């Protein structure tokens, strides 16, 4: 059985990239990865937005805890017997 990809100019790239067998194999594997999971880019973008939001909320919570409750942590408790 002959090889499915042959170095005889089957593909012409608009930017002038030489159509070597390794370049065509890379293109085929990239296409197959996209075909298997086409919504991957959207999920990555959503994940970045979610992590940024969670980081901001964590920062706001730490700020609130530190300065809101600081007065309770630093007060002296006196006991009368």
Residue 7 lies in a domain: yes
Residue 21 lies in a domain: yes
pLDDT at 8 over 90: no
DSSP state of 56: H
pLDDT 10s digits, 20-29: 888 889 999 9
Q: What's the pLDDT score for residue 13?
A: 85
Residue 11 lies in a domain: yes
pLDDT 10s digits, 17-62: 888 888 889 999 999 999 999 999 999 999 999 999 999 999 999 9
Q: Which long-range contacts (CB under 8 A, 24 or more apart) does 53-62 make?
A: none
- pTM listed for this prediction: 0.56
Report the distance separating Cα 78 and Cα 80, nearest Å. 7
Q: In terms of domains, do 15 and 27 share one? A: yes
Domain span at residue 66 reads: 40-74
pLDDT at 81 over 70: no
């Amino acid at each position: 059985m002959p090889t499915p990809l042959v170095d005889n100019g089957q593909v012409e790239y608009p930017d002038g990239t030489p159509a070597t067998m390794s370049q065509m194999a890379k293109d085929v594997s990239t296409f197959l990865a996209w075909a298997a999971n086409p919504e991957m880019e959207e999920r990555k973008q959503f994940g970045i937005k979610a992590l940024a939001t969670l980081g901001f909320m964590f920062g706001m919570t730490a700020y609130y805890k530190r300065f809101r409750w600081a007065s309770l942590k630093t007060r002296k408790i006196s006991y009368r017997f």
